[in-house]
Amino acid sequence: MNKLILVYNPRSSHYLQVKKDVVDKLRGLKGWMIGKYEVVDTDVDDNAKRLAKVLEDGNLVIAAGGDGTANIALNGIMLSGREGVRLGVLGYGNFNDTARTFGKPNVEEIIKGEAVETWPLECKINGKHWRYGMCYFTIGMFAEACEVFDNPKTRKSLRKGKKSIFYSIRVLASWWFKERKKHTFMPEFSLGNSSEEYVASNGASDYMAVNGKTVAKMMKGGKYCLQKDAFLSATGRMTKFWPLIVMMARSILKRIPGTESDYDKLVFRKPAKMMFQAEGEYKMIPDVSMVEIKKSAKPLLVIMK
């Protein structure tokens, strides 16, 4: 019998809709053994390790929730080492970048669909694996800005239905004007590639590696996840008003300004504490001296529309 594992977060602001559209619907699914993984209130990495322990070869994993839930499912599968595990993502979050990258399939399309090989990004910090990410990694100011969506007032507004992109932009703009001059988001660093050529950061406040269709719903990237050896690499000084406006305008109307890369290595002049983000899930990490971004060594099987 086929086995399906549903990954969901009962504390999410959209859980009632997930229960109605997905949890209740799967109860009557014939020919499948249904298992559930409830996201626990710890972090992405702990949940991914817990999920990895329950996966078996050939499982179908469906993540129903926001990008954080999808990121847990992705990392759980990659860490499990199991063969033939497929992933489908149903977007019930504020941005749903992962679901957008996969074409936003519905439950029926995921269950009946054929899987394709995708290539997530892998981030290593100080030479050690940190996390996989399907859509993007950011370091610096953009990553720190994600904290604003965990503010109790903001989360309450999101639960009440303020889910438009304009509300999100207003919240982020308010945060930016208050925080942009308070500290250095990224210390001095040099950015190298697979040919070992290094370029100074020139005061950049942000680094971004993009592998998916969108970043924060509005910024355009590209489906680099279908390529084994390429992603979009970008740095920027987003603490300055006009550079930020130009960068955002280009990102929304055309594509995030950057260059294609197969390997990025950030080397910092002095070890420092920095905020990292993968698909909206952020973490402050101390004593960072080196960061490496590349494609995963093994592909991930994904149901795409």
List, for residues 14-69, the tens digit of each pLDDT value: 889 999 999 888 987 888 999 999 999 999 999 999 999 999 999 999 999 999 99
* Residue 81 clears pLDDT 60, i.e. is over it: yes
Which band of pLDDT confidence, cut at 50, 70 and 90, is reported for residue 184? Answer: confident
Which band of pLDDT confidence, cut at 50, 70 and 90, is reported for residue 181? Answer: confident
- Average pLDDT over the chain, rounded to whole? 90
Q: What is the CATH number of domain 123-295?
A: 2.60.200.40
Tokens of 246: 């130009």
The pLDDT value recorded for residue 151 is 62
The pLDDT value recorded for residue 153 is 64
Please list the residues that pair with 268 across neighbouring strands. Answer: 189
CA 215 – CA 265 distance, rounded (Å): 21
Q: Which residues contact 27 (CB under 8 A, 6 or more apart)?
A: 34
CA 176 – CA 20 distance, rounded (Å): 37
The pLDDT value recorded for residue 178 is 85
Residue that wins the pLDDT comparison between 289 and 199: 289
Query: Average pLDDT in the 210-239 region?
Result: 94
The CATH H-level (homologous superfamily) assignment of domain 2-119 is: Probable inorganic polyphosphate/atp-NAD kinase; domain 1 (3.40.50.10330)
Q: Which residue stretches of the chain are H helix?
A: 15-18, 24-26, 44-54, 67-80, 97-101, 107-112, 141-145, 152-159, 165-179, 241-253
The pLDDT value recorded for residue 270 is 93
Domain ranges of the chain: 2-119, 123-295
The pLDDT value recorded for residue 165 is 64
